[in-house]
Amino acid sequence: MHAWFSNDCFPLYLAPMAGVSDKIFRQLCKERGADVLVTEFVSAEGIFRRNERTRRYLDFDEIERPLGVQLFGGNPEHMAEAARQVIEWVRPDFIDLNFGCPVNKVVAKNGGSALLKDCPLLGKVARAVVQAVAPLPVTAKIRIGWDDKSVNAVAVARQLESLGVAALAVHGRTRAQGYSGSADWNVIAEVAGAISIPVIGNGDLLTPADVAKRKAETGIAGAMIGRAAMNSPWIFSQTKQYLATGDLLPPPQPTEKWALIQRHCELAVDECRRNGPSPEAAEDLAMRSMRGRLMAYSKGMPAGKMLREKFQHVRTLREVEEIAQVHLVTCLEVV
């Protein structure tokens, strides 16, 4: 079994995030210490269509290994066949099963967290995929239950372990919670105590100290970080340093953060140009889709409100460069 699915190396995972954890962002996080990467979720049915969009979701570079492709769907045979095709097509290091997505469109088709309400079907999906791709490992990501009256993470975890799933990520919220309230780390700890495959804890890990606390208190074998990485991909290297030495690395300097933001924008525009119509249209398209990402980066930066107002309308790389120049001068004046 691969080292990152053992109980003793404490890998840091970048959480799969649709519309966020694309190839560019995964690589930016990898450069800053993320150990294991997972693609955005991909529909099993989308795999059969092999359209351009699906191809983009599955695209990754060798440097991203170990990398898992996350699949969702509620039909065991289709999930197994899709997993086989993915392996033949892009050869990931593992397949990850999404049993946590709360989105109506996915749940309505028996995908994602809907399967937490139908454990026999969840078991059939897991068994079919494990058998189809063996010896390649299959991991799963769950929420703790459908709602607070049906928290069944321990039972689901035992079931998945018995079916040969290699590691389990647990987001400590129910489906009903969406992203509100807070993650229940008591349930995550119960799961970690109940099964012997690695349990990767997920939910509201915002700082290196959060990860250290949950590691010490819950028996998790690794941590998965999502939204905090959208704000600061440095969280991975900072957490590693903190876990190893107890030292908190200083936050990145504003110049370093701006260098990352600009690089992210440039890579997004390059990628869009490779697929897009004219260079100008590609830049416009890419920068519009970067707006949400820029908002996330700006949280916690000095004069963040002013930045967010500007980012709402940004359309070119040149504009981002100008915003950065003005902001850096303002920051220096404040210092």
Binding positions for ligand FMN, rule: CB under 6 A: 15-20, 40-41, 70, 98, 100-101, 141, 171, 202-205, 225-228
DSSP 36: B
Q: Which is nearer to ligand FMN, 40 or 161 (CB)?
A: 40
Catalytic residue among 9, 29, 101, 272: 101
User: Rounded to whole angstroms, how far apart are CA atoms 9 and 153?
Assistant: 24
CB of 98 to ligand FMN, least distance (A): 5
Distance CA 186, CA 192 (A): 10
What are the Cα distances from residue 275, in Å, to 18, 121, 270, 279?
Answer: 19, 38, 9, 10
Q: Which is nearer to ligand FMN, 113 or 282 (CB)?
A: 113
Q: How far is the CB of 146 from ligand FMN (least distance, A)?
A: 16
Name which of 189 and 225 has its Cβ closer to ligand FMN: 225
> Residue 85: CB partners within 8 Å, gap ≥ 6?
47, 48
Minimum CB separation of residue 138 from ligand FMN in Å reads: 14
Give least dist CB 17 to ligand FMN, A: 4
3-class SS of residue 97: strand
d(CA 284, CA 307): 19
Cα 87 vs. chain centroid, distance in angstroms? 20
Answer yes or no: 101 catalytic.
yes
**Side-chain half-sphere CA neighbours of 317 within 13 A:** 16
Residues 6+ apart with CB under 8 A from 299: 231
Shortest distance, CB of residue 299 to ligand FMN, whole angstroms? Answer: 13
| Nearest-approach distance from CB 330 to ligand FMN, in angstroms | 30
SS3 135: coil
For 327, the token pair is: 């902001």
- Residues 181 and 202: beta-carbon distance below 8 Å: no
Q: Rank residues 128 and 224 by Cβ distance to ligand FMN and give the closer one.
A: 224
CA angle (51, 52, 56) in 5-degree steps: 120
Nearer to ligand FMN among residue 145 and residue 258 (C-beta) = 145
Residue 141 vs 327, nearer CB to ligand FMN: 141
Active site amino acids: 101
